[in-house]
Structure 1
Amino acid sequence: MQDFSAVLNHIAPHITLNEEEKKLFLSVLKLKKVKRKQFVEQPGFVSKHRTYVVEGALRAYFIGEDGQEHTISLAVDDWWIGDPGSFLFQEPATLFIEAIEDSTLVQWSYESEQLLLEKIPQFPMVMMQRWQRMAVMIQKRVISNLSLSAEERYEEFAQRYPAFVQRIPLYIIASYLGMSREFLSKIRNQRISAKN
């Protein structure tokens, strides 16, 4: 029997499942293990699954016309990651979803989500709350990018997501914050010097 307790604990504050609903929910879940550098999704292919990170770290990114990688989102333990446009509209993905560390994921398919939305009355509300939280995160990120200096953006990121700073490679954090690795390294060195 596979252990889906992490995802059950994640949704528990938002939904109370009766035994039949819990059985249905568990029946659609799949456990997936991925190695570092392995892709979970790639551009051009339709996103077939919702992805919850039980353990590990992943990123979503695209490659610009200039060949630069632009990191859109990051996920560590107890986070979600994916290409929402591709999943929701069942159209080709625009993002790479790549494991930064060996990771354990829980996934369910698009078809399974439609079944959950139909059969579990509280499930649409849970998904709506999830999308609302994501919209707020995106709004905060846009405001930060438009109103804060690079130093302030990194400071805010480090305070808001300390687990990311400890686990995510510097070049990926730099890509997420919209700056070069060298510039971010300079900012971090200045912070260390200021503390000493």
Structure 2
Amino acid sequence: MNPQEIIINYARKLVPLTDEEGEQFAAAFKEQRVKKRQFIIQPDFTAKSRYFVLNGSLRAYVIGEEGQDHTIQLAVEEWWISDYNSYIFQQPARMFVIAMEDSLLFQLTHEQESRLKDENHKFETFFRMLAERSVAFMQRRIISSLTQSAEERYELFVEKYPAMAYRFPQYVIASYLGMTTEFLSKIRNQRVKPKS
């Protein structure tokens, strides 16, 4: 399946698009190849685009005053990533977004997204539904971090995203789940040990 077909099929999961509308939607995106460890967004620069992952993996993170990094978002195939506060409000970014593997992305600029929304109500509905799902996901994540133990958060992550648990380095998973790498290593070792 080519990149255009992938994004059209993805959009059709949320809104019904005719072939012509699908082509119009896909035409707004531009392919971008990024190398492992390449940044696509950095603090103090405005995020002009959001990205749909066709192939590869990315990570969005911030660095706290103490120098500790905190993973805000992970993205693999058919997931979106950006510094959304920067992208939506077109103001300087606070996050780093970096490729964790060589990746192929579909880039959509803020300008192109606005144009799509103006041209067709279905496209506006698509992006609204995307935003709603994102808000619900973030809320679940906040509730999980406030109400579950580190072990429970890790178990849930592995259950929901088994491939991702081993695709990203341990320090990234630990940072995403709000724990130290050492503590995550301890949890993983306990899972591997046979129960006596």
SS of alignment partner, residue 3 of structure 2: coil
Structure-2 residue corresponding to 1:65? 65
After TM superposition, the structure 1 = structure 2 runs for residues 140-179 of structure 1, keeping only pairs within 5 Å, are: 140-179=140-179
Contact kept? 1:52, 1:105, Cα under 8 Å:
yes
> Does the 8 Å CA contact 1:47/1:93 hold for their aligned counterparts?
yes
CA distance in 2, matches of 1:51, 1:114: 15
Distance across 2 between alignment mates of 1:19 and 1:78? 20
Residue aligning to 2:5: 5
Residue-pair matches, total: 195
Aligned pairs for 1:130-145 within 5 A: 130-145=130-145
**TM-score (structure 2 length as normaliser):** 0.95
- Per-residue deviation, residues 142-174 of structure 1 (Å, max 9, x unmatched): 111111111111111111111211211100000
CA offsets, 1:99-147, max 9 Å, x none?
0111110011111111100001111111111111111111111111111
* Residue 125 of structure 1 pairs with residue 110 of structure 2: no
TM-score, structure 1 length as denominator? 0.95
8 Å Cα contact 2:3/2:54 also seen in 1 = no
Secondary structure, counterpart of 1:118 in structure 2: helix
8 A Cα contact 2:53 2:77, kept in partner: yes
2-structure distance, mates of 1:39, 1:167: 19
Q: Aligned-pair RMSD on alpha carbons?
A: 1.4
Hey, what's the Cα distance between the residues in 1 that align with 2:195 and 2:37?
A: 34
Q: Mind listing any 5+ residue stretches in structure 2 that lack a counterpart? A: none
